[in-house]
Amino acid sequence: LAKTTQPISMDSYEGQEVNITCSHNNIATNDYITWYQQFPSQGPRFIIQGYKTKVTNEVASLFIPADRKSSTLSLPRVSLSDTAVYYCLVGPRGSQGNLIFGKGTKLSVKP
């Protein structure tokens, strides 16, 4: 399974765009990239998933370059409620329990 590397923490201010980059140098051809968000005292929540190029939903965008060795989660105009830990996971579809969450990136949004 591809190992991922993310910054341990990031700080931002309300209204700013936040980009969290995840490195996954040994990503396999059939691996997908998935991001989860976890608020304090809650279980993680799915944000977005992608394979290549760009994926956008109502919450975030995911940018994946052509070599797929990294990916960037983009959160537009963050608010205080976006303060959370963000996890980048890499694995094949149907990997059934082989996904590794790691320590994630703790995003702190300040007023």
Partner 1 sequence: NAGVTQTPKFQVLKTGQSMTLQCAQDMNHNSMYWYRQDPGMGLRLIYYSASEGTTDKGEVPNGYNVSRLNKREFSLRLESAAPSQTSVYFCASTRGQAGEETQYFGPGTRLLVL
In the complex, the residues that contact partner 1 under the rule CB under 8 A are: 34, 36, 41-46, 49, 87, 93-97, 99-104
107 neighbors 81 (Cβ within 8 angstroms):
no
Q: Give whichever of 72 and 95 is closer to partner 1, judged by the CB atom.
A: 95
**Choice between 42 and 81, CB closer to partner 1:** 42
Closest CB to partner 1 among 96 and 111? 96
Instruction: Give me the least distance between CB of 103 and partner 1, in Å please.
Output: 5
On the CB side of 63, CA atoms within 13 Å amount to 9
